[in-house]
Structure formats: C-alpha cells, structure tokens
Amino acid sequence: MSALSIQQVSRTFANPNGGSTQALLPVDFEVRDNDFVTILGPSGCGKSTLLRIVAGLDTPSGGRVLLDGQAVAGPGADRGMVFQSYTLFPWLTIAQNVRFGLRERGMSEAEQKERSDFFIARVGLRGFEQHFPKQLSGGMQQRTAIARALANDPKILLLDEPFGALDNQTRVLMQELLLGIWESHRKTVLFVTHDIDEAIFMANRVAVFSARPGRIKSEIAVDFPHPRHYTIKTSPEFSVLKARLTEEIRAEAMASAEH
C-alpha cells in the first residue's frame, strides 16, 4: 500500500524581472508504507522543492500529493520535517523543544514527558534534557530535531539533507542512528540527499532526479539486508551500485552544464 502518492506534481517559479523558471517537470512517484526512500540528484535539480511540496510548505503549480488517500493542502502533524539547518527554538530547552508539538496538540503533561523522554533517550541525549540548543554540537541539535519529529508520531518523516552540515565522522554516526531508529520503528521515510554513499546506505530504494527542471529519471532498489553497518560501504556490491549511481548523476550534471 502507498502511504504517499505524488501525482503529476510540477512547480514553476515567477522570476522578479518577469518570465519564469520551471523547477519541476510533472513527477509521478509512490512511497509505500514503511519504505525508506532516498532522493538523489545534482544540486539545484528540484529535489528539495518536491520535499517542501510534500511537507505542505510550498504549493505545486500542477498535480497533487496524497497522504493515505488525503490531499495535502498545507503543513500538518501527519508529516514530520527535519531540515539541514538547525531549526530548534533557541529559547527552549531540549526537552521543551521535543515536547513543543505535543503541547500544541493538547497532550497531557504526563504524556508529553513520557514521549519526549523515550525519544530523547532513543537518540542518545539522555542527561541533556535541560540544556539549550546553543550548548550542544551540531550533531546533537540534529538528534534533537529528529527526536522532536518522531515524538509527534507522523505518518511520514521528511528529511532535507539533514546531515549535510555535519563533519564526516558525525555524519556517519547520525546515518547509523537514524537507520537504527527506522529498523526499530519502521516509520515511512523520504530523505533528500546529494551524497551517493548516504543515498545507498540509508535506503531500500533510491529515486534519481534529473538536472533542472527536475523529474525522476530512474528508481533503483537497494537490497542490502538489515540491520546495516557502515562496513557494507566496502563491499563489492556497494561499489557496483555506487558506480552506477555516480554515472547517472554525472550525466545529469554534464547535461545541466551544457544548458
């Protein structure tokens, strides 16, 4: 069953000096329940635009997005969004940040604490509940953002290059952390990245975007078993898949440079 159905979704932006720029050609795409799908493509290809439309933060110029059969008309608690930039409220503690959405929904204090404590522990931040974001590293702030999104129990988790600003060592640790959470909770995930290793390691399916105006050029299944460990990146099978995706992205990047 498809949790998310993207039907002929396109996006065109008006230019300040007149004219327009087409960011997305009509896109048709399905994400099944409990799927972990990565969207991979060259910079500026429209993959983040598509994710923002799914999140309800942008409106398509054409087409529609359905989540569990219901049309997406704006932001909602059924979608949890994690951005590349750290989007925590700086005046709230880590516990208060994680509980923010729960409080807005009118959940009792006891339920808020139970859920926030569980996910704060799940992302390895127990003991930091009363810290403020500025007291944490970038990786710890992103852990908090992920805990906040998961605590709201969304139908689908949307991540827009969430580890792009982290150093390589922290990035690998965060990849394993998120994948471990997915293996335990099987939340439906749509994850945008420009990193080929990350796209393969995280997903059970990679959707490759063309150069702008973006469209889904191909879909590639990733059949590595779970639980996964970063050592699969050294396997011959991983190398073959990486070479295939590298060539697809390279061809798109070259096509974009020619225009």
Give the pLDDT confidence of 40-99 residue by residue, as tens digits: 988 888 899 999 999 999 999 999 999 999 999 999 889 999 988 778 999 999 999 999
Q: Is the pLDDT of residue 202 over 70?
A: yes
Question: Would you call 228 helix, strand, or coil by DSSP?
Answer: coil
In contact, 195 and 166? CB cutoff 8 Å: no
In contact, 16 and 205? CB cutoff 8 Å: no
Confidence class for position 259, pLDDT limits 50, 70, 90 = low
In contact, 119 and 98? CB cutoff 8 Å: yes
The order of strands in the sheet holding 79-82 is: 79-82, 156-160, 188-193, 36-40, 205-209, 216-221
Confidence class for position 167, pLDDT limits 50, 70, 90 = confident
Task: Record the tokens describing residue 231, joined without a space.
Answer: 């050592």
All structural domains of the chain, each given as residue ranges with its CATH number in brackets, are: 2-78+154-258 (3.40.50.300)
Question: Apex CA 49: angle with CA 43 and CA 52, to 5°?
Answer: 135
Over range 114-119, report the average pLDDT. Answer: 93
State the Cα–Cα distance between residues 168 and 190, nearest whole angstrom: 22
Confidence class for position 222, pLDDT limits 50, 70, 90 = very high
Confidence class for position 257, pLDDT limits 50, 70, 90 = low
Strands (E), the chain: 2-14, 20-32, 36-40, 62-67, 70-71, 79-82, 156-160, 188-193, 205-209, 216-221
Over range 146-174, report the average pLDDT. Answer: 88
pLDDT of residue 104: 86
Q: Is the pLDDT of residue 19 over 60?
A: yes
